[in-house]
Amino acid sequence: MQKERQVSATGGLQFYDRSPFCTYAFCKYLSYWKKIEFIPSHVLLGEIDRCLKNVVYQNWVFFFENLGFIEHTDARKISYEDALIFEQIHLDVYKEFGFDIIMVPKELTVTKRCEFILRLVS
């Protein structure tokens, strides 16, 4: 679904909430958590390869600093401690694939976070 949205998107500047690199990080986290070997699928590796070869994404990845707590929902049941592990894996994966990480400060209001990002991309 993400690929379809991406391919059909129009306009100069686009922001994506998730990418195949996020899927890779999530799978890596699950293998860590389940204590099994991480073997990414050929489909996932193919999509990552396509994104890298076609320069689908800019080299910058914005990460929002964690707030120091987790609010549980029906979809989010991870502990704060596990969220920190996942966060580090996520950061490591993006660095592994050559992306530059830009941390968006948690002290900023939502509006100021948007301004911070837009200032950097303009």
C-beta of residue 89 within 8 angstroms of C-beta of residue 28: yes
Average pLDDT taken over every residue of the chain:
92
Helix (H), strand (E) counts: the chain:
5, 2
- Cα–Cα distance measured from residue 108 to residue 118, given in angstroms and rounded to the nearest whole number: 14
Residues 6+ apart with CB under 8 A from 50: 56
The first and second tokens of residue 18, run together, are 């998730």
pLDDT tens-digit map of 55-66:
889 999 999 999
Backbone φ and ψ of 100, nearest 5°: -95, 130
pTM given for the model = 0.88
